[in-house]
């Protein structure tokens, strides 16, 4: 592996966490103890892992963390009643309802029920609107993590053609909105491609920066890219492997095929993945400060 080509998400995530830890200490000096409450409904194995990782990250940074586990059979009304209590609890600064939810619960209804001032995912329509308008309350975790990686490695987006393959509400759409803003770490020309895009290869070959976020294992090949491209792989997919686990994690990019060809690339695992939790920690501290009429940059 050519180390000079690798964008190390673990390293960038640690830099973010170091910054957040200092911010937490400064908030505590002001009498503010940032607290994140995570609600987990059901027994989804991946969700269980993510929730544990979030709890551990909070503990290391001095953020208070509370996980509320609910049974798979929990009704929508029961969940909304819990969120209502969390919305009005002034000691709780951030609320995160782990997705996916059981089929009897309307995810969008739950997202919209969370107090937007406590929405650490930036999923609430109010916060999405603020992002689109260029005045975000918080930043969407994974797209913000992508931008942090680019900033850390001094990869400019100014005037660059960023092609995003994937149009989800979690990555594709918010990443596009983040990167077209008029600010130093945006100002890109953004194309969003997806499963209905005609002649996808012709578009991806134009990318100065390609963000792969379609959720299809090893879909992006070197033939789809130009050699000057920087590749950010957001995908995390399990494929069969002859090892103890019986699987291995790969991205949406065929890493071994693409890495020797392009300028820079994020690996999977160890690329964008660690950034999502790091930016969640940042959002938790940001909302805690804002709810107490404090600005982190002024602490």
CATH of region 29-120, choose from 3.90.1710.10, 3.90.870.40, 3.40.50.10860, 3.40.50.1820: 3.40.50.10860
Residues carrying an active site annotation: 54, 98, 121
Sign of CA dihedral 62, 56, 113, 172: positive
What are the φ and ψ backbone dihedral angles of 210, each rounded to 5 degrees?
-115, 130
CA nearest neighbour of 115 among 85, 77, 136, 78: 85
Mean pLDDT of the chain: 96
**Residue 187 structure tokens:** 């100002």
Q: CATH fold of 141-275, please?
A: Rossmann fold (3.40.50)
CA 296 to chain centre: 20
CA 242 to chain centre: 30
**Residue ranges, CATH 3.40.50.720, the chain:** 141-275
Q: What is the pLDDT of residue 1?
A: 57
**Residue 291 structure tokens:** 């709810």
Q: What average pLDDT does the segment 39-56 reach?
A: 93
**Residue ranges, CATH 3.40.50.10860, the chain:** 29-120
Which of left, alpha, beta for 285 (phi over 0: left; psi -120 to 50: alpha)? alpha
Q: Is the pLDDT of residue 269 over 60?
A: yes
Q: What average pLDDT does the segment 52-59 reach?
A: 96
What are the φ and ψ backbone dihedral angles of 57, each rounded to 5 degrees?
-65, -45
Percent of the chain with pLDDT over 90: 92
Largest CA distance in the chain: 56
């Amino acid at each position: 592996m050519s180390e000079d080509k690798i964008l190390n998400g673990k390293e960038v995530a640690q830099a973010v966490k170091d910054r957040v830890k200092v911010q937490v200490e400064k908030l505590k000096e002001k009498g503010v103890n940032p607290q994140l409450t995570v609600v987990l409904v059901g027994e989804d194995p991946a969700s269980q892992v993510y929730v544990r990782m979030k709890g551990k990250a909070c503990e290391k940074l001095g953020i208070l963390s509370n996980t509320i586990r609910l049974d798979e059979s929990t009704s929508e009304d029961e969940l909304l009643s819990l969120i209502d209590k969390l919305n009005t609890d002034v000691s709780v600064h951030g609320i995160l309802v782990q997705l996916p939810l059981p089929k009897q619960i309307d995810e969008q209804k739950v997202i919209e029920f969370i107090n937007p001032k406590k929405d650490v995912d930036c999923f609430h329509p109010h916060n999405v609107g603020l992002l689109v308008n260029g005045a975000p309350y918080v930043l969407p975790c994974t797209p913000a993590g992508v931008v942090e990686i680019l900033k850390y490695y001094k990869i400019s987006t100014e005037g660059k053609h960023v092609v995003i393959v994937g149009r989800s509400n979690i990555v594709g759409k918010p990443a596009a909105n983040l990167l077209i803003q008029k600010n130093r770490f945006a100002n890109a020309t953004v194309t969003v491609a997806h499963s209905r895009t005609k002649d996808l290869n012709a578009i991806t070959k134009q990318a100065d920066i390609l963000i792969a976020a379609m959720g299809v294992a090893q879909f992006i090949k070197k033939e789809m890219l130009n050699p000057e491209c920087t590749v950010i792989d957001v995908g995390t997919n399990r494929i069969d492997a002859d090892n103890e686990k019986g699987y291995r994690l790969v991205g949406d990019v065929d890493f071994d095929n693409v890495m020797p060809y392009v300028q820079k690339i994020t690996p999977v695992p160890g690329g964008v993945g660690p950034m999502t939790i790091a930016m969640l920690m940042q959002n938790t501290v940001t909302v805690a400060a804002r709810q107490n009429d404090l600005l982190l940059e002024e602490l």
